[in-house]
Structure 1
Amino acid sequence: MADLAVETTPIPGLLVVRMPVHGDARGWFKENWQREKMVALGLPDFGPVQNNISFNASKGATRGIHTEPWDKFVSLATGRIFGAWVDMREGPTFGTSFSIEVDPSIAVFVPRGVGNSYQALEDGTAYTYLVNDHWRPGVSYPALHLGDETAAIPWPIPLDEAEISEKDHHNPRLGDVVAMKPKKTLVLGAGGQLGRAFAAADPDADSRTRAELDLTDADAVAAFPWQDYGVVLNTAAYTAVDLAETTEGRVAAWAANTAAPATLAALARQHGFTLVHFSSDYVFDGTAPLDPGHVEDEPLSPLGVYAQTKAAGDVAASLAPRHYVLRTSWVIGDGKNFVRTMQSLAQNGVSPSVVEDQVGRLTFTEELVRATRHLLDSGAAFGTYHLSNGGPAMSWREIAQEVFTRSGRSADDVSGTTTEAYAAQQREKGAPFAPRPLHSAMSLEKIRATGFEPEDALTALDRYLR
């Protein structure tokens, strides 16, 4: 008896599963779907939500070629079938076909967008299939004529002798088929620095501001077509660190930074999309040594309200089966930020006093875009990653001095102060002030192990200022 095995085919993602069938005089038994073993062998953890059975009374009954917008795991309960598949997805493998005879010892995983068809080779044949989305009325998808000359499927029973539905007789040839497009990418928080960077990098993405899609609005969430998306990038956040210490700010911060990621994680479980959630160095208290810096599995130790909501959001987002949580620090992009403020001060002849006891690394939004693409494209293991630009950790004063020298001013024009002194000034004004982690540098070794090398922060700073 053969061991459980998963085999690839010429169609990317279409997998043949060979499984042990245990039989005796009474009949046979098999583990038709064994998630742990099959996933370990390379089958996607596709999260089936519906089980269907197709019974074919007579030999020669032929169904398809239908291209459904969900993943499918097909196996035999009794009898034999000839299965044929055609890649109907937009891309270089469009039109590629594969066929195999299937008995109870063989199953096939069919990814979204691959057309599938089955011909019964015995009377009383029944095959069963798991799918990871619910059938909905009114959803149309590509179909292909069973006798398409390009696919050239070698049907064991000639089609003129097979039993075929009237509808399948009129399916188009490959040249007239509109290929199925991949699922879309959704960018949430498109009005912020990071959201704008993702929208600019991928014009085909669906980018939404909070006004356009409010995750705290249950009706808006329920009405949104989440099943159309393969990746959701959550760049939205409440980032007013000090205002989060106020009564109004506390409520807003918990809603945006914790409740919203929890909602997205639940939606990811339901619809199967990959959730990419962006977090912060503030989830730590800043007491880790600068070398190697904060590591991904370090216990969370948030100081203020904003920090607490981001830490809780990390936990919530990690409940999505397919997730990347990217913790980052000191984000710089298109919009109001520390570097632009220092550049403006330098150009206007101002000599600021800047805190020198907070140490970390800048993270440019283009670096976050590049790292996210790398994780998604490389199929890196899901989980939490730290990401900033590379180079040595620097204080805010040192970064300000770098901006000043690049703006034609002297580094000596930037004086130093402490976090506590700055906090006292704010309190004298009656303004709220949240505690800050003094050491924000994070270890980058985990993301480096995936093949991603962060760009030096000063190299990125030079390009940004130009």
Structure 2
Amino acid sequence: MKVLLLGSDGLLGSELKKVFSSDYDITAFVRENLDITDEKEVLQKVEEIKPRIIINATGYTSVDNAESEKDLATAVNGYAVGYLAKAAQKVGALLVHYSTDYVFSGNKGVGYTEDDMPAEVPSTIYGQSKLLGEMELQKNTDKFYLIRTSWVFGSGGKNFVDTMIRLGTERDELRVVNDQHGKPTYAVDLAKATRDLIESSAKFGIYHLTNEGDTTWYEYAKYIIGKYGTTQKWRKKEFPRIIPVNSEEFSRLHIVRGQATPAKRPSWSILVNTKFSHLRPWQEALKEYLNSLI
């Protein structure tokens, strides 16, 4: 079965490539192979390859930079998804697309299920661009899996886990936000779950796929430093001190340092999976990833 994978060199895309390469006829594109913001080029490539499945693992993922690069974020995360959906519909392909917890307001106080409505206007430009992509997807094809996920980590791309390890080796003290809640997700597990979802022939629609268990960035950072600190690599220096701060204080610290103010992220964007098999706890997945770094 032919699969067209877009973004095959990214954090998630590289794992998807591994998962699908063994049993599928996969065409894996990086950004240089296809400009997904060019509607004509998208249609031409899709008609040329005629895949049965298109997996879109591309995206503009810098939440903070999107605040000053709205047009680019909107083009990649929003309108381009519509182009892919139209092309998929034309050749009869299933389109798998990934979205984010940041489409929700974060004001609910409990987790968001697949049936909950996104915010009318998400708090970040990134969230707004991803919501536009969701709307473009559902408007232009009826054969899709829209997978919302959150806090993705793994090899092959910039992520919070790697950032904490790097900063922990450089600094004696780390200040980390303690009033934003979410679910970490291992790219390896998400890629495997994506294949399982496709092969299950589940009903088309929206799915929430994350590792189980929620946390804050602060508690997450403590866990990362603590677990990585048991390896030989870390014993060369003392553990950094991790200090909890609220989002407002974190923004002020950026201003004092002359850095760009972070985007206003949702405070409670926990995704609840009610429609598909649950993934393992994030702590277990993180241990596996940290062991792979030794």
TM-score above 0.5, yes or no: yes
Distance 1:412 1:343 in 2: 10
Match of 2:286 in 1: 461
Q: Which one of 130, 133, 154 corresponds to residue 313 of structure 1? A: 133
Contact kept? 2:19, 2:195, Cα under 8 Å: no
Amino acid in structure 2 at the alignment position of 1:378: S
Match of 2:235 in 1: none
Distance 1:257 1:444 in 2: 23
| Aligned pairs, number | 275
Distance 2:172 2:239 in 1: 12
- Could you list the runs of 5+ residues in structure 1 that have no partner in the other structure? 1-181
1:216 maps onto 2:37 in alignment? yes
RMSD across aligned positions (CA):
1.8
Q: Which residues of 2 match residues 342-361 of structure 1 at below 5 A? A: 342-348=164-170, 350-361=172-183
Runs of 4+ in 1 over 6 A off after TM superposition: 409-412
Q: Which residues of 2 match residues 326-337 of structure 1 at below 5 A? A: 326-334=147-155, 335-337=157-159
For 2:108, what is the secondary structure of its paired residue?
Answer: coil
Contact kept? 1:265, 1:275, Cα under 8 Å: yes
Contact kept? 1:268, 1:321, Cα under 8 Å: no
1:444 maps onto 2:273 in alignment? yes
Deviation at 1:197, TM superposition (A): 1.1
Identity of aligned residues (%): 35
Alpha-carbon spacing, 1:336–1:225, altered in 2? closer, same or farther (3 Å): closer
Contact kept? 2:229, 2:239, Cα under 8 Å: no
Amino acid in structure 2 at the alignment position of 1:343: I
Distance 1:321 1:245 in 2: 31
Q: Which has the higher helix share?
A: 2
Amino acid in structure 1 at the alignment position of 2:83: T
Alpha-carbon spacing, 1:379–1:399, altered in 2? closer, same or farther (3 Å): same
For 2:86, what is the secondary structure of its paired residue?
Answer: helix
1:424 maps onto 2:252 in alignment? yes
For 2:173, what is the secondary structure of its paired residue?
Answer: coil
1:190 maps onto 2:8 in alignment? yes
State the structure with bigger RCO (CA 8 A, min sep 6), 1 or 2: 2
Q: Which one of 82, 85, 104 corresponds to residue 284 of structure 1? A: 104
Q: Which one of 178, 194, 198 corresponds to residue 372 of structure 1? A: 194
Alpha-carbon spacing, 1:349–1:408, altered in 2? closer, same or farther (3 Å): farther
Contact kept? 2:134, 2:146, Cα under 8 Å: yes
Distance 1:412 1:236 in 2: 34
Distance 1:427 1:343 in 2: 24
**Once the two structures are superposed, what CA deviation does each residue of 1:241-286 show, in whole Å capped at 9, x if it has no partner?**
112111xx11101100111110111112211100000000000011
Amino acid in structure 2 at the alignment position of 1:465: L
Deviation at 1:411, TM superposition (A): 8.1
Deviation at 1:432, TM superposition (A): 4.2
Deviation at 1:364, TM superposition (A): 0.8
1:258 maps onto 2:78 in alignment? yes
Deviation at 1:347, TM superposition (A): 4.0
1:271 maps onto 2:100 in alignment? no
Amino acid in structure 2 at the alignment position of 1:368: L
Distance 2:260 2:178 in 1: 21
Contact kept? 1:347, 1:407, Cα under 8 Å: no
Q: Which residues of 2 match residues 27-426 of structure 1 at below 5 A? A: 182=1, 184-203=2-21, 204-226=25-47, 228-246=50-68, 249-290=69-110, 293-301=111-119, 302-319=122-139, 320-334=141-155, 335-348=157-170, 350-391=172-213, 393-408=214-229, 413-426=241-254
- Could you list the runs of 5+ residues in structure 2 that have no partner in the other structure? 231-237
Query: What TM-score does the superposition give when structure 1 sets the normalisation length?
Result: 0.56
For 2:82, what is the secondary structure of its paired residue?
Answer: helix
Which has more radius of gyration? Answer: 1
For 1:321, what is the secondary structure of its paired residue?
Answer: coil
For 1:300, what is the secondary structure of its paired residue?
Answer: coil
Q: Which has the higher strand share?
A: 1
Alpha-carbon spacing, 1:412–1:427, altered in 2? closer, same or farther (3 Å): closer
Query: What TM-score does the superposition give when structure 2 sets the normalisation length?
Result: 0.88
For 1:266, what is the secondary structure of its paired residue?
Answer: helix
Distance 1:460 1:328 in 2: 15
Deviation at 1:359, TM superposition (A): 0.9
Deviation at 1:344, TM superposition (A): 2.6
Distance 2:41 2:86 in 1: 15
Distance 1:225 1:380 in 2: 24
Deviation at 1:426, TM superposition (A): 2.3
